[in-house]
Homo-oligomer: A and B are copies of this chain.
């Protein structure tokens, strides 16, 4: 690339982001060069402040600007329900559904021996402590419906079983608006297994 060292440097920095290759990085660099000054300044400042102004909530381990987070501090939510998710992004997905009004617990990942993720890397002890506190009646496992997520849910459920709380797993089936013809056979099979009576 000709251009300036400053351009090469930004291209190199952008290329380290997931899903951004040489061409996207170059395109973004040219865009930022021709964009109004405030846009680039705002982006740079937002990146700088991101980590400085984001902390882990000591209640649910979600990413937040203050601990306890808005959801943990909200006394309108049901303390007897805990929804267990892998990552903060999953918490957001559940929250967007508007179907859950209890508390959350972010594990920080899923069990994955191949990637060196063992039980010690997840916030399982913290979850056990919350369940042992006595108020919790049900733990809903909303880990991802893949091998790692299933294994994680099953592993933690075994650990929590002695506590006597209800342990549940989100349903697997066809996504709304999906097409049976193009769905994978495991999903279709699961949607058959999990069929419910029409009243």
Which of A's residues lie within 8 Å of B, judged by CB?
1-7, 9-10, 12-14, 16-19, 23-24, 26-33, 37, 39-55, 62-65, 69-71, 87-89, 91-92, 95, 181-182
Contacts and interface: CB of A to CB of B under 8 A. Distances in A.
A31 B17 CA distance: 8
A9 B44 CA distance: 11
**What's the number of copies of this chain in the assembled complex?**
2
Among A1, A6, A18, A30, the one with the most B-chain Cβ atoms within 10 Å of its Cβ is: A6
Contacts of A70: 2
Interface centre among A19, A32, A39, A50 (most CB of B within 10 A): A50
Interface centre among A12, A64, A70, A71 (most CB of B within 10 A): A64
A123 to B, nearest CB: 15
A175 B83 CA distance: 53
